[in-house]
């Protein structure tokens, strides 16, 4: 039994590769697995339409799954450790709500009497979401400088989230049904909208933030003992909190900007990963959850396409549907969640 625990981390990369290949094989056009392999190997004989579908649609979508899942999971892990709260996630800081508010402003501004943009382009939405995240992040940082304890910060994050959500409701109330629909579609989340340029941007965000998170390993581990002990073993509280908040905002903001507010992955993946890899060391956890996040997103994305294959269900509906029962099951099994 012991060696199984020690080698269990291998399961994650294997699953990632497996689900990635399955994900490439699924879609509204059925392409035989052999053809997919020959397209991937760069063979010239392949059907050009199929080649376009695989490279321009399925590959970008599968990569988006891996990137978004990884980014949200690292963000979630950091928040759970920083707040020492098993229910924390990247959305607790109010970042996603900030993004939602900005995006809803873009979609529904006409109703509020403002002409911000005639037709919202994807980049405008991404820009608005990033701005929304940044705005909330700046507020959180200013407050974090004034507060010593993380629990207050957590509550303030939730309050900011509540405030922005209610502002969104007001906007929705004032706007036309068509505008509301575009906004609601955005909140469903989407993994298939990204082109290669956007994927490069998202990759850079994930790699840069992931590296910074790895460099924060010592601080993250130190936080597990609480503020006082962390400080007594030489962790700079304010500096590391700032770095952790910054990378979390970048990761969440980046994903929300391109894929919409994807719920639940950031909360569930750290718990699922710790079930497989029993450690508290962030040096192992950060790479592990980033792979685990990719696995869960790929899995959820496969589920969105399965029924009938003609419709693609909204990803946000599936992540919660898959994630929530799993978390409930973990809590019932373990009686307590470990941070």
Partner 1 sequence: MANKTALVSLHQLSVGYALPAGRNVLFENLGLTLNAGELTCFMGPNGVGKSTLIRTLAGLQKALSGEVHYGAGPNQSPKGPLPHQVSVVLTDRIATVQMDVRELVSFGRYPYMGWGITLSKDDQQKVSEALEEVHIQHLADKKLYELSDGQQQMVMIARALAQDTPVILLDEPTAHLDLNNRVEVMNLLRRLARKLNKAILIATHELDLALQTADLIWLAGRGKTLVTGIPEDLVLSGVFDEVFQFKGYDLKTGKISHEAYRDKMISLQGDGHAYLWTRNALERNGFSVTSPGPSLPHIDVVEKDGHLRWIINQKTSFDTLQSLLTHFI
Residue 210 interacting with partner 1 (CB under 8 A): no
The reply on whether position 139 binds partner 1 by CB under 8 A is: no
Does 225 participate in binding partner 1 (rule CB under 8 A)? yes
SS3 assignment, position 53: helix
Which CB sits closer to partner 1, 177 or 234? 234
CA angle, residues 320, 124, 95, in degrees to nearest 5? 40
Q: Indicate whether 235 belongs to the interface with partner 1 (CB under 8 A).
A: yes
Instruction: Provide the Cα torsion 159, 162, 163, 164; round to 10°.
Output: 120
Q: Among 25, 217, 246, 314, indicate the residue that binds partner 1 (CB under 8 A).
A: 217
Widest pairwise Cα distance in the chain: 65
Cβ closest to partner 1, residue 112 vs residue 225: 225
Contact between 221 and partner 1 by CB under 8 A: the answer reads yes
- Cβ atoms < 10 Å from Cβ of 179: 20
Q: Is 219 exposed, middle or buried (0-12, 13-18, 19+ CB in 10 A)?
A: buried
Distance CA 256, CA 29 (A): 28
CB of 233 to partner 1, least distance (A): 4
Question: Which of 45, 234, 310, 333 contacts partner 1 by CB under 8 A?
Answer: 234
Q: What is the Cα–Cα distance from 161 to 150, expressed in whole angstroms?
A: 16
Q: Could you tell me how many residues of this chain bind partner 1 (CB under 8 A)?
A: 24
**Rama region for 264: left / alpha / beta (φ>0; ψ in -120 to 50; rest):** left
Q: Rule CB under 8 A: say whether 242 interacts with partner 1.
A: no
Closest CA to 288 of 76, 85, 87: 76
Member of 233, 306, 321, 328 binding partner 1 (CB under 8 A)? 233
CB atoms under 10 Å from CB of 77, counted, come to 31
**Under the criterion CB under 8 A, does residue 278 sit at the interface with partner 1?**
yes
Determine, following the binding rule CB under 8 A, whether residue 231 of this chain makes contact with partner 1. yes
Query: What tokens does 193 get?
Result: 């909208």
Q: Enter the tokens of residue 256.
A: 């929300």
For CA atoms 44, 50, 54, 57, give the dihedral sign.
Answer: positive
In this complex, which beta carbon is closest to partner 1, that of residue 108 or of residue 235? 235
218 binds partner 1 (CB under 8 A): yes
Q: If binding is defined by CB under 8 A, does position 229 make contact with partner 1? A: yes
Q: Binding partner 1 by CB under 8 A: which of 55, 123, 215, 329?
A: 215
Q: Assess 145 for contact with partner 1 (CB under 8 A).
A: no
* Shortest distance (Å) from residue 281 CB to partner 1: 8
Within 13 Å of residue 68, how many CA atoms lie on the same side as its CB?
A: 35
**CA 200 to centroid of chain Cα atoms:** 16
Binders of partner 1 among 285-304, rule CB under 8 A? none
Position among 111, 167, 224, 317 found at the interface with partner 1 (CB under 8 A): 224
Q: Which of 283, 309, 328, 329 binds partner 1 (CB under 8 A)?
A: 283
Over the window 76 to 105, marking each residue x when it contacts partner 1 by CB under 8 A and - when it does not, the resulting string is: --------x---------------------
Residues that bind partner 1 (CB under 8 A): 84, 215-218, 221-222, 224-226, 228-229, 231-235, 278, 280-281, 283, 336, 338-339
């Amino acid at each position: 039994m012991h060696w199984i625990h020690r080698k269990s981390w291998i399961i994650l990369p294997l699953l990632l590769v497996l689900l990635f290949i399955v994900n490439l094989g699924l879609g509204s056009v059925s392409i035989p697995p052999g053809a997919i392999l020959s397209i991937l190997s760069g063979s010239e004989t392949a059907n050009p339409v199929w080649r376009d579908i695989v490279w321009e649609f399925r590959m970008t979508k599968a990569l988006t799954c891996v990137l978004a899942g990884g980014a949200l999971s690292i963000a979630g892990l950091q928040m759970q450790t920083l707040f020492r709260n098993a229910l924390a996630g990247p959305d607790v800081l109010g970042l996603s709500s900030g993004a939602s508010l900005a995006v809803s402003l873009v979609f529904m501004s006409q109703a509020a009497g403002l002409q911000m943009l005639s037709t919202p382009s994807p980049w405008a939405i991404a820009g608005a979401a990033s701005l929304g995240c940044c705005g909330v992040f700046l507020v959180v940082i200013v407050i974090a400088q004034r507060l010593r304890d993380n629990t207050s910060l957590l509550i303030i994050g939730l309050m900011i989230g509540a405030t922005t959500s209610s502002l969104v409701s007001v906007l929705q109330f004032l706007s036309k049904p068509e505008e509301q629909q575009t906004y609601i579609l955005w909140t469903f989340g989407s993994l298939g909208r990204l082109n290669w340029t956007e994927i490069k941007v998202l990759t850079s965000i994930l790699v840069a933030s992931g590296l910074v998170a790895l460099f924060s390993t010592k601080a993250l581990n130190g936080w597990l003992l609480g503020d006082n002990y962390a400080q007594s073993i030489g962790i700079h509280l304010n500096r590391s909190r700032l770095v952790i908040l910054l990378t979390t905002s970048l990761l969440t903001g980046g994903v929300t900007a391109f894929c919409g507010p994807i719920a639940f992955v950031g909360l569930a993946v750290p718990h699922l990963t710790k079930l497989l890899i029993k450690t508290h060391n962030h040096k192992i956890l950060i790479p592990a959850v980033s792979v685990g996040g990719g696995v869960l997103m790929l899995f959820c994305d496969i589920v969105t396409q399965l029924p009938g294959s003609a419709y693609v269900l909204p990803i946000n509906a599936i992540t919660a549907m898959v994630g929530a029962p799993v978390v409930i099951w973990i809590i019932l099994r373990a009686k307590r969640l470990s941070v």
